[in-house]
Amino acid sequence: MALERIGIASLLGGLLLAGCLPAPPAAPESQAPLEIAGVLSGETILSGEVLLVDDVLVPAGSRVVFRAGTTVRVRSAEGTQIDPEYLSSLTELLVRGTLVVQGTEESPVRFLPLTSPSEGEPAWAGILLDRATESAVEGARIEGAETGILCIDSSPLLRGNRITGCRYGIIAQQKSSPRILDNRLEAGEGGIFCWRGSNPYLYGNRIAGNREEGVFVDASSRPWLDRNEVTGNAIGLALYPRDLPFDSTEVRGNGEDIRFLGGGGGAP
């Protein structure tokens, strides 16, 4: 476990400071994980074993970095949290500043539930980017969340992630245009959702085995679908726009490969 602090940082509600280390040493196996919760102000660099014990907010102007190889375990909100501080009643990582996840194929950053979720219920909210800036999530393994990565008016780079068993893989809403490259989104309810004027670039993703839609596009969104493998979902592409270019040969083996939708469908 390690935490590097640069500039002003204030962590509320239970962050245990592990020290100010210039470079994170390898964490001994027996070392207790760093517990974080509350507001992460300033610049925070995390590595090793981290435990999200409650909601975390990265406010506008602040930055948090997860080094390659970090494992973040998320404690589920106890009982019925009735006054969620932020966007979800589940434990959430909410970023209004900058998020940098520096995982690699060999050394991913893992976001995992601390305990197995009950059947069909997400264990935590996910990574929520709300007007976040200059953010990138690369090489992450995200499991058991309601939404793997939610982008609200945010346009991060999302590359090389594996999002597994999350209700929604990636949501882009409110004019978000993330670059979604080479990710795997599998075994959720749905893969990628484009809502409310969102225009992400989807390239090289594998979107497979979701119970409902692989990719959903509402009437006001215009994603660029470029060489994605969409297979094994109930519906491969569910689209309001009739004129989105995509390679239909990559959309196959779904219960229904392509469904064009009618009605308003999120028209602005």
Partner 1 sequence: MRGLGTALLLLILSAAARGEGLHYRGENSLWQDTVWDGEVLVDGILTIPPGVTLHVRPGTTVRFTRRETNGDGIGEHELFIQGRLLASGTAEAPVRFTSAEVDPRPGDWGAINIMASEEENLLEQVEIEYAYRGFHAHFARASLADCRFRRNVRGLQFQESTVAIARCRVSDNLNGLQFRDSKVTLTDSVVEGNYWGVRCVYSELALSRCRVEGNLVNGVNLRDSSLSATANRISGNRKGLYLQRSRCEVTGNELLDNSEHGILLEESDCRVAANRIAGNGRAGVKWIDARGSLAGNRLDGNGTWALYNEGAGEADARGNWWGSADPGAIAAAIRDGEDLPGMGRVDASDPLEEPPILPKLELREDMEQR
Give the interface with partner 1 as residue ranges (CB under 8 A). Answer: 10, 12, 38-39, 41, 59, 80, 82-83, 86-87, 152, 173-174, 193, 195-196, 212-213, 216, 218, 235, 238, 240, 259, 261-267
List alpha helices for 11-70, DSSP H: none
Q: Which is nearer to partner 1, 142 or 235 (CB)?
A: 235
> C-beta of 251: minimal distance to partner 1 in Å?
16
Q: Which is nearer to partner 1, 77 or 238 (CB)?
A: 238
DSSP, collapsed to helix, strand or coil, labels residue 257 as: strand
Q: Which is nearer to partner 1, 4 or 213 (CB)?
A: 213
DSSP, res 110:
E
> C-beta of 204: minimal distance to partner 1 in Å?
26
Q: Which is nearer to partner 1, 113 or 266 (CB)?
A: 266
> C-beta of 239: minimal distance to partner 1 in Å?
10
Q: Which is nearer to partner 1, 23 or 242 (CB)?
A: 242
> Residue 223: how many CA atoms within 13 Å on its side-chain side?
32
Cβ neighbours of residue 262 closer than 8 Å, sequence gap 6 or more = none
DSSP, res 15:
P
> C-beta of 183: minimal distance to partner 1 in Å?
21
C-alpha 244/C-alpha 200 separation (Å) is: 13
> C-beta of 137: minimal distance to partner 1 in Å?
21
> Residue 265: how many CA atoms within 13 Å on its side-chain side?
17
Instruction: Report the DSSP pairing between strands 43-47 and 136-138.
Output: unpaired
